[in-house]
Amino acid sequence: MPSSDVVRISFKERMLQAREEAIVSAAGRLMAEKGFEAMTVDEVAAQVGIAKASLYKHFPGKEDLAAAAMLRVLRRAQAVVQAVPADAAPLDKLRAVARWALEAHLAGDMPTLPGPNSALRTALVRDKACRESLTDIGERLGAWIDAAGKSGALDPALPRAAVLYTLYARACDPAAGFLKAEGRYSDAQIIEWALGACFDGLRAR
C-alpha cells in the first residue's frame, strides 16, 4: 500500500500538471485572439488566476510559454495529418488538413503563426520538440504536394514551398476572420469558400 507521502507527492504533481495545462491553454487563447507580440505574461497569469511569479515556475519566459502553446497545436496537427486516410487522393489529403486548420482558426483555437523575423519564430526554431513536429508535418504535406503535382491535381510548376506556406496560411486566414466578424455567414460556409479560393482559385468555372 502506498505511503501517505507518495500519495501527497503524486497529488502535488497532478496539481502542477493541471496548472501548467491551464497556463498553456490560456496562452494559446490569447495568442489566437491578439497574437504573440500583444500577449503579456500578466494577462496569461490573470486568466489562470495565479500570480506571475507562479507562472514563471513553469515557464521562464514569454517565448518559452508561447513555444509550449504552439507545440500543443503542432501535436494536434500531427494527429490530424496522421489520421487522414492513406488511400485518399493527395489533393483530398491536403484539403482535409486545410479544413482542420480553418476550423481551428474560426473556433479561436489556433494561435497566430509567427512572421519570419519574430521572436516567436526564434523560440520555435530553438525548441527541439517544435522543430521535430514542424519537420514531420512539412515532410508529410510535402510528399502529398509532390504527388498532387505529378498527378496533375496541382500545377507542377508551383514550388513545393509555395504550396506548403499557402496551406500553413489557412491556419490564420484573415479573410475567414473578417467574414466571421460580419456575423452573416456560418463557419461551414466560410470554410467552404476559403477552401474553394485556396484550391480552385477565384475564376468562375
* 3 state DSSP class of 166: helix
Q: Are 115 and 172 in contact (CB under 8 A)?
A: no
Longest dimension (CA), the chain: 72
Count of domains forming the chain = 1
Assess if residue 188 is contained within a domain.
yes
Assess if residue 134 is contained within a domain.
yes
pLDDT for 33 equals 86
Which amino acid would we find at residue 15?
M
Residue with cell 479573410: 175
Q: Are 57 and 65 in contact (CB under 8 A)?
A: no
Contacts of 70 (CB under 8 A, 6+ apart): 31, 111, 120, 124, 130
Q: What residue numbers bound the domain in which 154 lies?
A: 62-200
Q: Are 120 and 63 in contact (CB under 8 A)?
A: yes
Assess if residue 75 is contained within a domain.
yes
Assess if residue 105 is contained within a domain.
yes
pLDDT for 1 equals 47
Assess if residue 13 is contained within a domain.
no
Assess if residue 43 is contained within a domain.
no
pLDDT per residue of the chain (205 residues) written in tens, 0 to 9: 455 444 456 877 888 888 999 999 999 999 888 888 889 999 999 999 999 999 998 999 888 898 899 899 999 999 999 999 999 999 999 999 999 999 999 998 888 777 776 777 887 888 899 899 999 999 999 999 999 999 999 999 999 999 999 998 888 888 999 999 999 999 999 999 999 999 998 776 5
Assess if residue 56 is contained within a domain.
no
Q: What is the CATH number of the domain that holds 124?
A: 1.10.357
Assess if residue 49 is contained within a domain.
no
Question: Cα(150)–Cα(91) distance, rounded to whole angstroms?
Answer: 11
pLDDT for 118 equals 76
